Amino acid sequence: MDSYIQTYGQYETVVDGNIIDNAKWNMVYDGDILDLEAQKNDESLYVQLTNEEIMKLFQIPASHHTISDRLEQDLHQSINVQPIIMEEIAIEPKIHHKKHKSRRKSKSKSKPKHSKSKSRLKRDKLTPDYLKTIY
């Protein structure tokens, strides 16, 4: 068989600055033999499998129940959905103060300046969607 596959990777799970789980692996398949090296936390593993052994692994069922039995069982289980509530943070609008320049009389007519309305200030304080409750 003319095949060559190589894959490798690693992951690390950190909670409160502490590593609670980590693993790394390297697999090389030349079409006849699969070489697997893996390390999870402090345990190491080296396995060499032939094509026949790989096929036997695929024959092992993931569950002893049929797919229809598992789907039927899932239909009768209640799903517990609870929202994840994130802290709401009000975002204050940034106010920019303009510096006054020396006053000169100009010949052009200027438009009257409007102050910010309450609705504008209220819109600036809207909470972004990512800070709202997630279901």
Of 53, 23, 60, whose CA–CA distance to 38 is shortest?
23
Q: What is the pLDDT of residues 1-55, one digit of tens each?
A: 578 999 999 999 998 889 999 999 999 999 999 999 999 998 999 999 999 999 9
Structure tokens at 12: 């690390």
Across 43-52, b (16+ Cβ under 10 Å) vs e yields eeeeeebeee
Whether this model's pTM surpasses 0.85:
no
Q: Is the pLDDT of residue 105 over 60?
A: no
Per-residue pLDDT for 57 more than 50? Answer: yes
Q: Residue 72's CB: how many other CB atoms inside 10 A?
A: 11
Q: Are 14 and 3 in contact (CB under 8 A)?
A: no
Confidence of residue 61 (pLDDT cuts 50, 70, 90): confident
What is the domain partition of the chain in residue ranges? 5-63, 82-93+114-135
Q: Mean pLDDT across the stretch 105-125?
A: 53
Q: How many CB atoms lie within 10 A of CB 33?
A: 13
Mean pLDDT value of segment 46-71:
89
The predicted model gives 97-120 an average pLDDT of 55
CB 5 within 8 A of CB 29: yes
